[in-house]
Structure 1
Amino acid sequence: MAFDDVMDEAVARKPFKILARMGYCARGLIYLVIGALAVASVMGEGGGTTDTRGALTEIMRQPLGNTLMLALIVGLVGYVAWRLTQALFDADRHGFTAKGLAIRAGLLISAITHAVLAYWAGKLFLHLRTSSGGGAAQGQGQAFLATDTGQLVLALVGVFVVVVGLAHLFKGFTARFDRYMEIPEDHRIWIKPLCRFGLVARGVVWCMVGWFLIDSARRANSSDIKGMGEAMDTLRNSPYGEWLLGIVAAGLIAFGLYNFLEAAFRRIRV
């Protein structure tokens, strides 16, 4: 390939890489808000435990909320595009082994969940109803989950979420994220522990959410599905709950910062 062709291709890929990095920033901001609200709650300064949708709602309430939300939507769309590139075109070279295909399947599911989050953010930005407007669909979903097939699906989703949580724990403890990032040597001494702490904290929360889903399916109680906010509430109500919630909340802040570091140092192969 001629030098001019290489340069033209690099220029063509630059907007996509910018979008992908904006995606990491968008996800980082959401988790910073989740962690900060939980920390404020522990310190008695207001706040509370919430999930990704609650974080978007909180961002929308802030000064320049519409501007921030628009940037988040663009970032989430970029993140979805990047996840699809990782999953479908094997940007990280996981290959076609069983392990590689499992990782790519997880990346594809991540693309879908963030696409749903981007859609929800878009509705919030356009001031459309985000709760009562989907009552009929929600009722149909509850009816499906009440069936034997629905409970099986819920249990399988729970198992998948637990696996994702364990993968985060493994990735954090082994620092496997390092192979996909170009971290400057003089910053490794603080970046790697921060990233590991953030990944472990998110892994703990996801394992709890997955267990809630499995337990809900086991008890055939589709109306008792719990998410991230409820997981942190459970931590708060356990022995030494304030300390545990504070540690996990700080970890989620670290996970938010980890995403900003990925935006800066992640290898984006197109």
Structure 2
Amino acid sequence: MDSEKIRGSRWYHVLIGIGLVSYGLVHIVLAWLAGKVALGGGGDASSQGAMRQLAKQPLGAVLLWVMAIGLFSLVLWQVLVAIVGQESPDPKRRLARRASSIGRAIVYAALGVIAVRVAIGSGGSSSGSAEDTASSKLMHLPAGRFLVAAVGIAIVAVGVSQVVKGIRRKFIERDLDGSAPRPVGVLGSVGWIAKGIVLGGIGVLFLVAAITYDAKKAGGMDQALTALRDQPFGPVLLFAVAAGLAAFGVYCFFWARHPKY
């Protein structure tokens, strides 16, 4: 079956819908975990932590397998978009959109792998976060501090690009089919800005680790949210970020109903 038939098939649309709803659900749980961090509570405010929370619910394992299938279908969707779905007279814009689709595919694939690992019971907590492990390995390579700094700069750049995406609202034209209610765009804007802030915080932690030559100071979302909470007016800011993540989750539910294939 060629790519056009795949993209036009009903089962493909259904799987994309399941994937986008799953993506939104992860962000809703992340928003709840971020709220707990704002109140001084514990818990793993990360994608893996969100998956573990879902696993604790009735039929949680079944839900995770359904989510994994949906998320992997999003990978296929974005790969197909990268290959045949970039219509623009500007070669630079086409290339940028292809790169964005590949980036999305990587994110969806990573979340799908986490869902499978948690579903089969191998996604439990470990002695250190994935970010700690990655930064430690990089730090021990030749020019390791510069590599960790480069990763931090790259993550900050992605975070800034997501904030800009939320402000410029170009995602509305790219992601939605045109029939979505106008408030959906507001939800998406708030959500992308919140996601960008969190990513920017993670990138800053990598930069701090590079400057201090201490890999333990690198961290993921959980550490970034905790660092934000510890700033002046931190809990208020963190509640705002949690609300933004929840807004993005709701946006994904509408996106699932009005996707641009």
Where on the TM-score scale, by shorter chain, does this alignment land: which range? 0.7 to 0.9
Distance 2:38 2:122 in 1: 32
Distance 1:219 1:26 in 2: 38
How many Å apart are 1:144 and its aligned residue?
4.0
Maintained 8 Å contact 1:38/1:49: no
Maintained 8 Å contact 1:202/1:251: yes
Give the secondary structure class of the aligned counterpart of 1:148. Answer: coil
1:96–1:134: structure 2 CA closer, same or farther, 3 Å change rule? farther
Aligned-residue Cα RMSD (Å) equals: 3.0
Structure 2 regions of 5+ residues with no counterpart? none
Aligned twin of 1:114 = 108
Give the secondary structure class of the aligned counterpart of 2:198. Answer: helix
Aligned twin of 1:65 = 60
Length-normalised TM-score, structure 2 = 0.84
Counterpart of 1:247, as a letter, is A
Matched, 1:38 2:31: no
Length-normalised TM-score, structure 1 = 0.82
Matched, 1:179 2:173: yes
How many Å apart are 1:53 and its aligned residue?
0.8
Maintained 8 Å contact 1:56/1:69: yes
1:247–1:132: structure 2 CA closer, same or farther, 3 Å change rule? closer
1:45-89 CA-partner distances (Å, limit 9, x unpaired): x675601111001111112211211111111111221222233x1
How many Å apart are 1:183 and its aligned residue?
4.1
User: Which of 13, 23, 26 is the equivalent residue of 1:27?
Assistant: 23
How many Å apart are 1:22 and its aligned residue?
1.9
Give the secondary structure class of the aligned counterpart of 2:87. Answer: coil
Structure 1 regions of 5+ residues with no counterpart? 1-7
1:251–1:132: structure 2 CA closer, same or farther, 3 Å change rule? closer
1:82–1:156: structure 2 CA closer, same or farther, 3 Å change rule? farther
Matched, 1:163 2:178: no
User: Which of 8, 11, 14 is the equivalent residue of 2:10?
Assistant: 14
Max Rg structure: 1
Percent pairwise identity: 29
Aligned twin of 1:259 = 252
1:252–1:208: structure 2 CA closer, same or farther, 3 Å change rule? same
1:94–1:21: structure 2 CA closer, same or farther, 3 Å change rule? farther
> How many corresponding residue pairs?
255
How many Å apart are 1:12 and its aligned residue?
5.6
